[in-house]
Chains A and B, each alone.
Chain A
Amino acid sequence: MNKNTFDIIIIGAGSVGLPTALYLAKEKLKVLVLDIYPSVGQGQNKCAIGGVRATHSDPAKIQTCLKSLEIFATWKDEYGDDIDFEPGGYTFPVYTETDAANLKTLLDTQKHYGLNIDWLDGPDLLDVLPGINHNGLLGGTYSPEDGHLSPIKAAAAFYRQAKNLGVEFRCGERVIDIIQNNDAVSGVKTERDTYTAPVVINAAGAQAREIGDMIGLDLPVYPDCHEAGVTEPVKHFLDPMVVDIRQFPRSKNFYFYQNFEGHFIFCITPYPPIEGTDRRATSSFLPDAGQRLIRLFPKLQNIKVRRTWRGLYPMTLDGIPIIDEIDEVEGFYVVVGMCGQGLMLGPGVAANLAHLILDGKPLLPEELFDYFSYYRDYTGCSEALR
């Protein structure tokens, strides 16, 4: 067989492309992964702060992320690599009755689809969040099986295992064309070379739209930009990820956790959203984030901020990813629009996709998987916990 001929080509070695390569290689397929950056995980994967949760409102996302959590939680035992997974849980503390009511209405669906989550009243929440500002704290949801991990180590682990199974990686190669033959894909052309395969997967994250455009697909994936920061490490006192869903000037959600090395890692959802692909640091982020962090955890006022970065959230209109085989072009799959949740969705998405490609059926019940359809009505239900 020609050295440039593969069973499957994956475009994008990120949160989705890496686990997808691994699961397909486990099925003895010959896989090539292409990436524009010099090494794997250098797009938005490394910008993720590391939270992994199944706490969503959309049933398909809940179940996909439960699968991811299962993979992360058992990773070290199965493969040996330490990805720093800590099942510290997720909390959404609330200070207004409206927020409390909104979160409580989601609980039934969340529990129905298998999520371990409950409402904790103020005092009980204080046990989970020692040091949180309790003035006006009404309580919040707590999902103890969610957690956090190191995105860098996870990417490196997926990469290493995939490589061990024979997956080939070409990093630093920009894809310039998708080759088609009678309404079916037959390969990919990069700046350096041409590769052939009957199946091509678009897992290009923030660049997914440009890749779709190469075969005339108008993928409704529009990146916006979130900003994050990390502090010096201090002695551990906080286990869960904390999500503050209040709105402040210039920002909506604010979330942070303390990783196992002691660093606090925090991220803000700008409001109004900052659309586009500009990843340069803004001057407003650190003061805004600093104020929100101190408001929630006063004792963090004495911690030092070490670094800041921005990452792109490839958003869809309804906050739900697009995972589908394209009808118009045979063999072309889109796994795009992770809406900033590629890290937590990635392994679950990959497991489903491998089944979809090999058996024609995903792991999830098909009526759930339909939520991910490219052909869905994007004005229908939408994810409440973006």
Chain B
Amino acid sequence: MSELRDIFRIEKHPILTVTSAKRISFTFNGKKLYAHKGEVITSALFANGIRIFGHHPKDSSPQGMFCANGQCAQCTVIANGVPVKGCMIRVEEEMSLQSCDGLPELPEVRAFSDTFAQHGEVETEVLIIGGGPAGIAAAIELGKAGLDVLIVDDKHRLGGKLVLQTHSFFGTVEDVYAGTRGIDIATRLTEEVGRFPHASVSLNTQAVGVFSDGKIGLVRGEEYFLTVPKAILIASGAREKGLLFPGCDLPGVYGAGAFQTLVNRDLVRSSEKLFIVGGGNVGLIAGYHALQAGIDVVGLVEVMDKVGGYKVHADKLKRHGVPIHTSHTVLGAGGDGRLERVTIARVDASFNPIQGTERTFAADTLLIAVGLDPIDELYLQAERMGMRVYSAGDSQEIAEASAAIFSGRIAGRHIARDLEKGEPVPEEWSQKAEILKSKPGETFPLKAKSFPSGLFPVIFCHQEIPCDPCTKICPKDMIVIPGDGIMSIPEIHKDECTGCYRCVAFCPGLAITLVDLRQEGDSGLVTVPFELSEDLIKVGDEVDAMEIEGRVLTTVKVEKVIQRRAYDRTLLVVLRVPKEIATSVAGFKRKEVVPYGALGEGYQTKIGDETVVCRCERVTAGEIRRLIREGVRDMNQLKVLRCGMGACGGKTCEPLILSLYKQEGIDEKEVFPYTKRPLLAEVPLNVLAGLKEE
């Protein structure tokens, strides 16, 4: 029984520490199962191979996990008789869970209490909503200025999305911890903010609304309370954009953030075969995280002719044999009640699928990573209430976490100054912030190697990105970034390599190898970084040596595997390779990922009428299109179909409906958005009322 269970758990991870959790028992539809104490219901169910949690009341369609963030209600299950969102509620010993099939029934209440507690009010000078990189960085600056700060975050620890990031970060070592893994940056920031006695943190706390009296409603577990700040910083991050295609509503289709939550937070092996839509950093990194978790990545499609994320991220995937299909789109997802297959096709210059290029792959999970939108509802509400409100990080502008740290720092200083405390923002900060926000720049051809023999690093970083750890890590200062700033391509400007491997181990892009051609004979050694499980590689293995873009050079042997504490969980794999290709080897691949087969599902240039657009209320593209064609331009009129009235409040469907308008040839400027009202997430009535148990 336990062996069966464990196939859905990640019991060993190359980067994350797997701690032994206490096993507790619970039931799902009467069947006894086991969970890890402290984990949320959705993760416990996934860990038991259960991915369908109920059926929608409108059309009985299967419902599974979607946002993993308490925003939608698709993971609703009945826990001890009460309908709850599985992604937000922890499993308890002996908990009885039931699938939610149709509308849930409220349990009868036997002992009736009608005593209510007055909800508390917390005063603070600055309220920070969101304890991710931006929020914490701001709190540190406010702490330095001696202001009272309260950070609220809806997760169980500080760090935001950083805690889901196993890879090393880019940016500058000096300002934003470049070269350090995301999870470790979260820990460092958390420790730093902990040093300020006036900075307090409220975890598992969700901000649900801003009210006309300048108070913000917060929910922490069973408790509802209000805060009365002088200033608010919204640092609540971003929300993933959706994508419409037939089958996009099947269980198994969800966002990269939800995936990272399951895999990297809860160490649940949520899938076996993963497909990814979107070649931005989010999609590329999620693919890499999947490989680290031992999940096969069947492929990634990107509609543009090149990936939008950092080239080094894409190259990492390619070198592990993950096919990246640029100029491709997803045509549809299929399966009997859950995702079983994904069909893609090549697109033409106008992004229309080309007939005859369809290919279908077997996959149990499809990640949508087609971009992010700022979470700005609270900002807009606070503005409407006439409050002193600021934003930082992704909720201000979508960029990398390193940029979020910096924008948080700047916002913190601004707030402190506006409250007549602290130091002004140094002039160079805004310039630095802009650099960190930079999109990848030009890609240059790789330079011919100037070292025909001896011992030397080879740099496979040839796209302009804001990153500098390689220039800080070399004891001989061999690597420099020419010119001002950190965007240019790093260069080797000395021949003094001692073979310390530090550049190989610490390049965030895993884009530096160490070539050793000092021995006589035809072969030399190439040392490459490796961040997947150590079990996957051992001395004597035959592997495919890969060039930078993932083309196989030749079969080579693993000479040595170096594992040192100082290299921070990055393994160094020494390959014996023919000398003439030594400077071309950027990595290696263990095995082939074979496409499942080709059964084209047909050519489609636009979203089919049957495609579900509003997931909460199961409203199709056809129904919405009919109203658009009748002349509806105010999205509030779409509420006759119940669009936007579901649990998520239109957060998921609004951008998708705008894309339908666009398809109908209607300018976005003609369309009036939904009226948005509190609450930002559903809250149980007993919590709002302050009901005391009898």
Contacts and interface: CB of A to CB of B under 8 A. Distances in A.
Contacts, number: 149
Decide if the interface of chain B is mainly helix, strand, loop or mixed: loop
Given A278-B212, A282-B211, A304 B634 contact: no
B561 to A, nearest CB: 52
A42 B632 CA distance: 13
Nearest to B102: A235
Nearest to B84: A304
Contacts of A39: 632-634, 636-637, 672
B106 A303 contact: yes
Interface in A260-300: 261-262, 278, 280-283, 286-287, 290-291, 293-295, 298-300
Given A46-B636, A283-B211, A302-B82, A234 B685 contact: no
Given A152-B639, A234-B83, A302 B108 contact: no
Interface stretch (B5-13, B336-344, B490-498, B675-683): B675-683
A306 B640 contact: no
A232 B73 contact: yes
Q: Which of A156, A278, A283 has the most CB of B within 10 A?
A: A283
Nearest to A286: B688
Interface in B58-116: 73, 81-83, 102-109, 112, 114, 116
B508 interface: no
B686 interface: yes
A303 B119 contact: no
Nearest to B119: A287
A341 B143 CA distance: 53
A237 B103 CA distance: 12
A278 B691 CA distance: 29
B634 A305 contact: no
A170 interface: no
Interface in B630-649: 632-634, 636-637, 639-640, 642, 647, 649
Given A262-B57, A294-B114, A307 B640 contact: no
B678 A308 contact: yes
Interface in B15-45: none
Contacts of B427: none
Contacts of B215: 283
**Interface range, A side:** 35 or more
Contact of A298 (B109, B637, B679): B109
A294 B684 CA distance: 11
A309 B82 CA distance: 26
A153 interface: yes
A306 B685 contact: no
B690 interface: yes
Contacts of A156: 637, 640
Interface string B315-351: 0000000000000000000000000000000000000
A298 B114 CA distance: 8
B213 A301 contact: no
A4 interface: no
Given A299-B106, A301-B109, A283 B213 contact: yes
A305 B686 contact: no
**Interface range, B side:** 35 or more
A133 interface: yes
Contacts of A291: 116, 689-691
Contacts of B632: 39
A235 B106 contact: yes
A307 B82 CA distance: 20
Contacts of B116: 287, 291, 294
B160 interface: no
Given A280-B212, A306-B682, A234 B104 contact: yes
A114 interface: no
A233 interface: yes
Contacts of A235: 102-106
Contact of B683 (A42, A237, A262, A304): A304
B384 interface: yes
B682 A38 contact: no
Nearest to B213: A283
B119 A233 contact: no
A42 B639 CA distance: 12
Contacts of A309: 677
Nearest to A304: B682
Contacts of A299: 106-109
Contacts of B689: 287, 290-291, 293-294, 301
A293 B116 CA distance: 12
B649 A307 contact: yes
Interface in A17-67: 37-40, 42, 46
A172 to B, nearest CB: 9
A307 B109 contact: no
B287 interface: no
Contact of B636 (A42, A153, A236, A294): A42
A282 B217 CA distance: 10
Q: Which of B116, B119, B685 has the most CB of A within 10 A?
A: B685
Given A232-B83, A233-B57, A280-B384, A305 B685 contact: yes
B514 to A, nearest CB: 57
Interface string B115-137: 01001000000000000000000
B203 interface: no
Nearest to A301: B686
A304 to B, nearest CB: 4
A238 to B, nearest CB: 11
A234 B112 contact: no
Interface string B198-221: 000000000001111101010000
Interface in B208-265: 209-213, 215, 217, 224, 226
A231 interface: yes
A281 B119 CA distance: 17
B684 A280 contact: no
B291 interface: no
Contact of B647 (A131, A293, A303, A306): A306
Interface string A304-318: 111111000000000
16 contacts: A39-B636, A40-B637, A133-B114, A156-B637, A156-B640, A261-B642, A281-B211, A286-B679, A291-B689, A293-B689, A294-B691, A302-B81, A302-B684, A305-B679, A305-B688, A307-B649
Given A281-B212, A298-B114, A301-B691, 19 more contacts: A38-B633, A38-B636, A39-B632, A39-B633, A40-B637, A46-B636, A150-B640, A231-B685, A233-B103, A234-B103, A234-B104, A234-B105, A235-B102, A280-B211, A283-B212, A290-B688, A291-B691, A299-B106, A305-B684
Interface of A: 37-40, 42, 46, 131, 133, 150, 152-153, 156, 171, 231-237, 261-262, 278, 280-283, 286-287, 290-291, 293-295, 298-309
When A and B form their complex, which 7 residue pairs have the shortest distance between CB atoms, in order from nearest?
A: A290-B689, A39-B634, A283-B211, A280-B212, A304-B682, A301-B686, A290-B688
